[in-house]
Structure 1
Amino acid sequence: MAKQKMILDLDTGIDDALAIAYAVASPEADLIGILSSYGNVVVERSAKNSLRILDLLGASDVPVFLGESHSVVTDHFDVMPISAQIHGKNGIGEVAVAESSRAIESESAVDFIIDAAHKYKQDLILVPTGPLTNLAAAIRKDPSIVKEIGKVVLMGGALTVPGNVTDAAEANINQDAVSANEVFTAGLNLTMVGLDVTLRTLLTRKETQQWRDLHTKAGDAFADIVDFYIKAYEITSPGLNGCALHDPLAVGVALMPDLVTTLPLNMIVETEGTTWGRTTGDANRLNEPSTDQASLTVDADRFLNLFMTRLSKLFEEN
């Protein structure tokens, strides 16, 4: 089976690091590049975190591209205190992962999306797990890529559950609702992997202990990183009894769509007032053929088994 060309678009915090690991560990994926975004950390730190994690996982051949540094409606970006609490100020749980000797690519993330779309066309999967600023900017610059990109599987949004920033909005969408709305309404083959499903896929200290028991550099580092995340969740979401695998689930669904059930629903993102960032059905396109899909349920046990099997094997080797 031919590997699927994949680009990750990350604001590399802890679950983004897990998404990188899952993509690297998945035999179906050919990870051709990582784009950096802002959110959990500022964009430059996101890029450096991605380089560090790639090196740790023996994937130093994957290039990293610098993305947009703030939303389309602001002129700068400041990390929210809650993000620093959950991911650590360095974005990876205050764990010291060796700095990479590699440089960030000179080509911009936006141009890399456009070039990859024209080169790989329907074979390309784009997985954004942060704000949708980079993808929206690429579509604005070259609208023809909408029909060329094979599919977009994003982590963000909430359809059947409340948001995690406000009752209406999930964090990634909230960062740049205007760009998110442009992406949702562009006509892409788009699947939303939102809080509806990601909050049902949980990791606990039982799993991180399995990584510690490997006695490898990657296993120890990721155990430390995720234990920081779990501790933060004990404060912010004590009822969950673990940490959510938000971003890696999006990678999982990109490679194995049957991990989730979806509702075909053309969607919009609300960009005004108290419902800023809400992901909901587009009343003007309800009777048109659906290009958007919203994930509703997930086979959490199957995904967790895949996740642990693949990551443990990868960490064992690094």
Structure 2
Amino acid sequence: MAPNKIIIDTDPGVDDILAMLLAFSAKAEELDILMVSLTFGNVEVQNCLRNVVTLFHYIEKERAWRKEHGRPEGFETLNTRKPIVAIGAEEPLAEHMMVADFFHGVDGLGGIHHSHPHLSPAETWKSLFKPTPGSMSKEEAAALQAVKDQHSLFTPSLKPAHEVMLDLLRENEPDTVTIVAVGPLTNLAIAAAKDPETFLRVKEVVVMGGAVDAPGNLNARNQMTPGAEFNTYADSIASARIFALTSQNPHLTMPPTLAENKKEQLPPYPSSTKLSKQLVLKLFPLDTTESHMLPKTMFEDYIKRKNVAGSPLAEWTALFLNITFQKNATLNPQQQVDSVPKMGLQLHDPLTVWYALCPANAAWTFKTEDIRVETSGQWTRGCLVVDRRGRPVKAGEGPIGEEEEVMGDAGGWRDSRRGNRVAWCTKSPGTEKFARVILHRVLGDGEQW
């Protein structure tokens, strides 16, 4: 069976880094990772780029360490392809930009680039994301080649992420590429607006975001939003635009134009001509992701194992995870039991990669509903809205028109042609076992756990 081709759209971020480590630790027959597409989100996009470059740096160090210790190098996907790394959106489509540096640290990894600068790669890698001068001396050319050799596991791109995303969808057969989106959906929304038919060549879009029936989580500056999850909150309009592509008539569930917005608006989806297909969207909301935890004690026990202790990845991940465990305990005092904090990290983003690794596993359970994203509410920005009135939903007849609105059904919730069709994950192959899966795959000690 051919590997699942994926594009990872991300804003790393602690759990984003774990998600990418899980993806790159896959076997060659499991995943073919075409691209890492970067967006603002947890931190601003240049910090996200530094974290991705550092991730590849530590994968290189880890593979060398394992080879030296007579262990399989792992990370087989990188033997068959060097994924493209492309920089994308620096801010949301319309709203005021919010980041989650209060949780992830100003650099996205608990501040370790500042507290442990000697562990970060030299910033000569920045030259890889700048146009090459038309003429260079032999010394300059040699210096640039040396930088490329130091960062040989990825292919840097000078094109914006949404353009590379569309290029890859054109180059591959329809329904063969999955986009795994674990940050704000801005890059996806820009790509879909620029060329909706090319974007719809995607097999499916797998999104970590939203809260369907669960409460929201923390947003930027340590403020609580009762109903929204951070990714949908960070760019609710982008989320609404992508969700709308799951509808038979996307223009009917598109967000309204914000009159006060001075930013350039993306064009609406066409209302006069139907798109060739509906987007397949698999949503992983807080309802499901929050129960998948990496306990602090489990992580600490694992990195002490004889075939793991002292490895570059174990030591690097321990740096930012221990900071994160402490931060999580501080922000969630309700987790205190007998004054002993139940420290851990919720594996939000890695869960989407687990799905990409084994989408055919029958244990994955999804519920398909008309889910829409609130974009203009004072208290509800980024909230997911589902009709819980229990009224029957029917397929209407005849052409869609405003005059066909059913009395008392503002928004067309009872006409299946008018609403979105989002499949959200309600169950995984194993809440308790996922932490063990990710530790074994990423840090794999070669022994039975």
Counterpart among 154, 158, 161 of residue 109 in structure 1: 161
Question: Partners in 1 of 2:376 and 2:102 — Cα distance?
Answer: 28
1:20-75 deviation line (CA, Å, top 9, x unaligned):
1010012211111111111111011111211111221135933210011001104x
- Structure 1 residues 268-277 or 208-217, which shifts more? 208-217
Counterpart in the other structure of 1:252:
354
| Alignment pair present for 1:47 and 2:49 | yes
Counterpart in the other structure of 2:416:
288
Contact 1:268 1:280 survives alignment (8 Å): yes
1:167-211 deviation line (CA, Å, top 9, x unaligned):
121100001111100001112110111111111011122232212
TM-score normalised per structure 2:
0.65
- Supply the AA of the counterpart residue of 1:40: N
Report the alpha carbon displacement of residue 287 of structure 1 after superposing the two structures with TM.
5.2
- Structure 1 residues 211-220 or 280-289, which shifts more? 280-289
TM-score normalised per structure 1:
0.90
Question: Partners in 2 of 1:34 and 1:285 — Cα distance?
Answer: 36
SS state at 1:219 partner: helix
| Alignment pair present for 1:313 and 2:366 | no
- Supply the AA of the counterpart residue of 2:182: T
Counterpart in the other structure of 1:304:
435
Report the alpha carbon displacement of residue 284 of structure 1 after superposing the two structures with TM.
3.0
- Supply the AA of the counterpart residue of 1:246: H
- Supply the AA of the counterpart residue of 1:207: M
Counterpart in the other structure of 1:154:
207
Question: Partners in 2 of 1:288 and 1:302 — Cα distance?
Answer: 37
Question: Partners in 1 of 2:31 and 2:433 — Cα distance?
Answer: 18
1:133-182 deviation line (CA, Å, top 9, x unaligned):
00000000001034310011111100010111411211000011111000
Question: Partners in 2 of 1:203 and 1:302 — Cα distance?
Answer: 10
Count residues in correspondence: 312
Counterpart in the other structure of 1:276:
381
Question: Partners in 1 of 2:202 and 2:296 — Cα distance?
Answer: 38
Question: Partners in 1 of 2:4 and 2:334 — Cα distance?
Answer: 37
What runs of 5+ residues in structure 1 fail to find an aligned partner?
Answer: none
- Supply the AA of the counterpart residue of 1:61: K
Question: Partners in 2 of 1:314 and 1:305 — Cα distance?
Answer: 12
Question: Partners in 1 of 2:208 and 2:23 — Cα distance?
Answer: 14
Counterpart in the other structure of 1:71:
92
Counterpart among 296, 303, 316 of residue 211 in structure 1: 303
Bigger Cα Rg: 2
Question: Partners in 2 of 1:158 and 1:200 — Cα distance?
Answer: 13
Question: Partners in 1 of 2:102 and 2:371 — Cα distance?
Answer: 31
1:238-290 deviation line (CA, Å, top 9, x unaligned):
34531101111111122323453211113210112122211123763665387
Counterpart in the other structure of 2:369:
265
Contact 1:216 1:315 survives alignment (8 Å): no
1:213-247 deviation line (CA, Å, top 9, x unaligned):
41111111112211111111101123453110111
| Alignment pair present for 1:98 and 2:120 | yes
- Supply the AA of the counterpart residue of 2:384: T
SS state at 2:324 partner: helix
Decide whether aligned partners of structure 1 residues 118 and 216 sit closer, same or farther in structure 2, where only a CA change above 3 A counts: same
Contact 2:15 2:347 survives alignment (8 Å): yes
Counterpart among 189, 201, 206 of residue 292 in structure 2: 201
| Alignment pair present for 1:15 and 2:15 | yes
Residue identity over aligned pairs, in percent, reads 27
Decide whether aligned partners of structure 1 residues 287 and 252 sit closer, same or farther in structure 2, where only a CA change above 3 A counts: farther
- Supply the AA of the counterpart residue of 1:55: H
Contact 2:54 2:121 survives alignment (8 Å): yes
Higher helix share: 1
Question: Partners in 1 of 2:187 and 2:32 — Cα distance?
Answer: 21
Decide whether aligned partners of structure 1 residues 208 and 191 sit closer, same or farther in structure 2, where only a CA change above 3 A counts: same
- Supply the AA of the counterpart residue of 2:423: Q
